[in-house]
Structure 1
């Protein structure tokens, strides 16, 4: 794990030069609405809103299992403690929204996985453009392997639409040499990766027998209103990231994130039965929004202040899924560890980027493994 060492003068000079060449404009593309003028939310922020009663009709049938996940996550955080980066107490790692069901008080198994689940992650918009710059440390996979789990990335075109990427997901899964027996793949869709995965499991039935579960993590399942004011050329700025080798692909990334597109697709494409679907939702307290994301949070707050700076909380929920948790992290903090490898950017702009991602992913896989052993409801 890179240490937050003091920044050398030549690094600061390079940073200033980089800004002059339009680095901030590239970050604008990453969040699709960063240049929006800040505005106050139209309605007061509150965590007292019932979590499932105000979501759109297509999300009926969502099963609330936040209490059990909280038990598992708290046990992982307590057991691992500060041996993992960005430790937070459990009460600060999750957001309490409305009345959370009571826990089961069942013991939490923190030993070796019996099913050896593998999180197959599909990332969000533009990830292949800035992956080389981000230099993800791979510590999540390293941590999971200690307990019999694993994590891999499924590469998709960061600037292509969901239908195009669904085919890439299908091809990657079908090319895998998987062991016989119960399926181990847990498809984890972060941000735009969630609709990419949903389109894959609908369009390509041949992959379903290889998939144990589908998880939306801060997923743009119902799209984002920010995409209504964005254009593909803004996302294409990501091609200018240092070291980027990505292309525009089919040019459909922004279009596929528009709420009308996503909700029309959901209405016309019932999700196949036989798979388990889970939703891990980012619902940060206002002080947990990074400074560089504040303007997009404010713009989205004109629609609903219960957002993570990119997606409103109810648009992250897969129809008919199990609600896993409301996470006290903004959209980037949940999955994009910018501050760990770029301390200067973290201190100046991505100011709330610290989050115990390793512990969260372990808890998520433990929760899914336990839940898969229960009869479907």
Structure 2
């Protein structure tokens, strides 16, 4: 997202690089079988959480209003436009909208999205050479966004310390907290471990957002080994290190669920979940094998994570996105068009509009929640 321009490689080099990505992905999956739970949007939109934790709050209707307004307003200026009904998936019974106006003016709070990427990102980010269009777009509305570097092949506890150190190195805000920690894929559990282990960062954090986050892990990790993820170190130009070698272990469902059970999330923070719930035809061809394997558990997945494993317990449900795991956050097809046309066939998604809508939703919700707290008597 923040990478600078680099010389284009020739077609043969691009295909060699992508073949490594294919090898890394395919090595993590096996043969497909009939789905245990078939794909269906006629499903409860919220997961059940332990009685000791707060229930998930459904605010999909308001996010839909904001996202649709942003898409309509930016249709002629942003890439990969989709009609709103195709950009989001309706799951179960979605609450009615609020009919309130959507403010598309400059941000008042000037939130800063601090994005923690998924497994192996530091291995291929130079090859991806992301154009930084999301950051440049949200800055036009008074927000900011930046990528936080973590060890792509390390476990969540290791990366939690890196998140803590990066936040503490920033200048603290004069007023209300402005950092919105956005965890993509494995970045979500990395962030959750950080706010639990390091209370000193909580006062600087306005909100935490799981975006296709592996909050409950992924069953794909059960059959995977760390050496398979380490294939990403062989990307030409990769500068990633082995780290502590705990990335795959951190993604196993037993690991994540045991951690959640033993580590209550700080109640003073605001949590949000933006979930990928793509229609089957929105899965890129290269990801169909992992989608099929994960469908042996539940076909309601994005090719890497089942929909309910993406939801932070006690969070606000923002929406269900009609995009596969890569399309949500990794602009491969925009940067490498040949690879996009052959392998990453469903990679186009209006990420700039989505990020703007997400920040506007969080800012509005934080203001509403804060006002409600002020209006509620202390003895209630």
TM class by smaller structure: over 0.9
Note the C-alpha offset of 1:57. Answer: 3.9
Structure 1's unaligned 5+ residue stretches are 2-7
| Native 8 Å contact 1:69 1:364 kept in 2 | yes
1:312 to 2:306 alignment: yes
| Residue number in structure 2 paired with 1:165 | 159
| Residue number in structure 2 paired with 1:24 | 19
1:211 to 2:221 alignment: no
| Native 8 Å contact 1:297 1:305 kept in 2 | yes
Note the C-alpha offset of 1:242. Answer: 1.7
**In the aligned structure 2, how far is the partner of 1:14 from the partner of 1:239?**
16
Note the C-alpha offset of 1:64. Answer: 0.2
TM-score normalised by the chain length of structure 1: 0.93
- Deviation string 1:74-106 (CA, Å, 9 cap, x unpaired) is 000000003101110100000000000000000
Specify the SS of the correspondent of 1:373. helix
Note the C-alpha offset of 1:27. Answer: 3.0
| Residue number in structure 2 paired with 1:33 | 28
- Deviation string 1:40-80 (CA, Å, 9 cap, x unpaired) is 3233321111212x545477600000000000000000000
**In the aligned structure 2, how far is the partner of 1:364 from the partner of 1:30?**
29
1:270 to 2:255 alignment: no
1:248 to 228, 242, 246: 242
2:59 to 56, 65, 68: 65
- Deviation string 1:332-368 (CA, Å, 9 cap, x unpaired) is 0000000010001100100000000000000000000
**In the aligned structure 2, how far is the partner of 1:55 from the partner of 1:362?**
30
1:48 to 2:78 alignment: no
| Residue number in structure 2 paired with 1:349 | 343
2:120 to 103, 111, 126: 126
Moved over 6 A (4+): none
Aligned residues: 364
Cα RMSD for the two superposed structures: 1.8
Structure 2's unaligned 5+ residue stretches are 2-7, 374-380
TM-score normalised by the chain length of structure 2: 0.92
Map 1:217-366 → 2, pairs under 5 A: 217-366=211-360
Note the C-alpha offset of 1:15. Answer: 4.3
**In the aligned structure 1, how far is the partner of 2:50 from the partner of 2:286?**
33
